[in-house]
Amino acid sequence: METQAAEKTLEQKGPAPVPASVVVLRLADFGRKPVTEQAQLKGELEALAAKAIEPLAAADRIVLEAPDALAVVVLARPQAALELAERCEAAAGGLPLCVGVNHGPVRQANDPLRGAGIVGDGVATGIVLANAATPGRLLASRPFHEALEATGSRRAADLAAAGELTDASVRRHEIYTLKPKTKRPRDRRAFVILALGSLAILALPFVARRFPAGPNLSEAPAPRAAAPAAPEPKHEAEPAPAPHEKPEPERQAKAEPAPRPKPAAPKPASIYFYIKPEGVVYIDGVAKGRTPPLKRVEVSPGRHSIEVRNGEFPPLKLRVNLGRAEEMTVSHSFVAPHPPREGLIPRWRRRLGI
């Protein structure tokens, strides 16, 4: 994947951070797969991303690689990043692809060990969103939604608020997801068929005037001459009922209405937990157990608050809005931050007692 043109464009803008959209494509449960399956999935992800970024000019994209993900930095308009994410989701098929989209500052950085790369809040928040996303449910940040609105794009109306997300650094992020109707491909043939049907209905009176009327079916045809009917046998008149005897009125049987079938209960949503090393799960303030061994919790469709606690570490807090039979994965690691590295000069001062 060619990224040299985009990196050159980023270098020309100087060392200062540059606002850009970032699309992170992550493979769910990648670390739990065998090595051979990991290699196959990573190859499919790279092929998918290479096809999806073709509409973008080489100077408008930078592709970053991670063991279980790819990140595409889009220097063009934010709408181009959303369309890129949609193309990836549409082509995913059976690939467990989780997509996170963010808009924020990025800049080039040179690491002595890892070499040149792209860092910044734009990439970091995109990774947080991709870790919280589930296959088939794209997550976007509020800054990305605001960037779409600022450019006057109509696609901002296609994103709906989906709650809040708290990352490992106790930062809260408002998240958005695509509305269901925007995930379906637009079928122009249905619109054309509907328009033709309406025109056909409007043209019916003109067709009736154009062609002469057929025979009047309301008039009965003249009866044919038939043979004289045989005289009907005479029956004796039935005796009239006595004046004091009144005929019983006919009883009209009223059919009892059939009982209506009970509406099917809504299918519950499922939340899967992959927490390291462990944590206690709370759903809407109610403790559900310790994970592991707890892996899955069923909840009713709608809004819920999720909290995972682990001793002195900051808790992981999520607010989600789940649909019927929807599945969501919560992955998090409670790891203490690394102490800052001591510089060379302070270290020599400490040794010399200065």
Encode pLDDT of 91-149 as tens digits.
Answer: 998 899 999 999 999 988 876 666 677 888 889 999 999 999 999 889 999 999 999 99
Residues 6+ apart with CB under 8 A from 179: 158, 159, 160
- Six-digit token pair at 195? 């328009």
- In the chain, CATH 3.30.70.1230 covers 4-183
Q: For residues 152 and 288, what is the distance between their CA atoms, to the nearest angstrom?
A: 45
- Any bridge partners for residue 37, and if so which? none
- Any bridge partners for residue 288, and if so which? none
**Type of residue numbered 88:** C
- Any bridge partners for residue 101, and if so which? 23, 140
Tell me if 78 sits within 8 A of 93, measured CB to CB. Answer: no
Q: What is the separation of C-alpha 300 from the centre of its chain, rounded to a whole number of angstroms?
A: 18
The secondary structure element, H or E, covering residue 194 is: helix 188-210
Q: What is the separation of C-alpha 262 from the centre of its chain, rounded to a whole number of angstroms?
A: 30
CATH of 269-333, one of 1.10.10, 2.60.40, 1.10.3930, 3.90.1010: 2.60.40
- Six-digit token pair at 317? 């807090």
Q: For residues 330 and 304, what is the distance between their CA atoms, to the nearest angstrom?
A: 13
Q: For residues 131 and 125, what is the distance between their CA atoms, to the nearest angstrom?
A: 10
Mean pLDDT estimate for the chain: 79
Is the pTM higher than 0.75? The answer reads: no
Q: What is the pLDDT of residue 8?
A: 56
Whether residue 331 has pLDDT greater than 50 = yes
Q: 4-183 falls under which CATH superfamily? A: Nucleotide cyclase, GGDEF domain (3.30.70.1230)
- Six-digit token pair at 218? 């309301």
Q: For residues 313 and 334, what is the distance between their CA atoms, to the nearest angstrom?
A: 7
Q: What is the pLDDT of residue 220?
A: 53
- In the chain, CATH 2.60.40 covers 269-333
User: What count of Cα atoms within 13 Å lies in the side-chain half-sphere of residue 44?
Assistant: 17
